[in-house]
């Protein structure tokens, strides 16, 4: 079941994201950042256990970002990530967004969902706010991908 994240989920979300952040695959998120952006997050829950998380962040009048997509390691390759992305896309369409982008190392995963690789310079400067907090800035090696809804 996919549902909106709640306050009681924040620590689990942080732990899930931290697993991938330690490997350099995601930006780490502080508890403060998670609370500030809690409304962006959804969780995939089964039998009371959170197995995956994702966030849809509105960046501009027609552009949103899928961020913080993570599935617990024993549960990868089971379609959970795909379902989370689809849910973000449905929510984005309801909000009236025309395009979604992601910055990722999982190019083949997102390509399989219809996202196309683009040059990061094609994204508006407004999206770079979080990048300033990243240890890899300004030498980001993530791949920018976009999809028109």
- The predicted pLDDT at position 135 comes to 59
- The predicted pLDDT at position 77 comes to 93
Domain total of the chain: 1
- The predicted pLDDT at position 27 comes to 82
- The predicted pLDDT at position 26 comes to 87
Q: In terms of residue numbers, what domain contains 139?
A: 2-148
Looking at the whole model, is its pTM more than 0.85?
yes
Question: Which residues of the chain have a pLDDT value below 50?
Answer: none
- CATH number, position 143: 3.40.630.30
Cis amide leading into 142 (omega within 30): no
Burial per residue of 19-47, b for 16 or more beta-carbon CB atoms within 10 angstroms, e otherwise: ebbeeeebbebeeeebeeebebbbbbbee
**Alpha carbon distance 49, 52 (integer Å):** 9
């Amino acid at each position: 079941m996919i549902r909106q994240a709640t306050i009681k989920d924040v620590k689990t979300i942080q732990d899930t994201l931290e697993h991938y952040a330690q490997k350099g695959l995601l930006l780490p998120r502080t508890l403060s950042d998670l609370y500030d952006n809690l409304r962006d997050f959804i969780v995939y829950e089964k039998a009371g256990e959170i197995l995956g998380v994702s966030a849809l962040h509105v960046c501009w009048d027609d552009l949103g970002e899928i961020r913080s997509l993570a599935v617990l390691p024993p549960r990868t390759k089971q379609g959970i990530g795909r379902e989370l992305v689809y849910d973000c896309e449905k929510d984005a369409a309801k909000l009236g967004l025309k395009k979604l982008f992601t910055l990722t190392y999982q190019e083949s995963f997102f390509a399989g969902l219809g996202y196309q690789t683009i040059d990061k310079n094609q994204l508006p400067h407004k999206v770079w706010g979080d990048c300033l907090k990243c240890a890899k800035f300004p030498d980001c090696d993530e791949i920018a991908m976009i999809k028109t809804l």
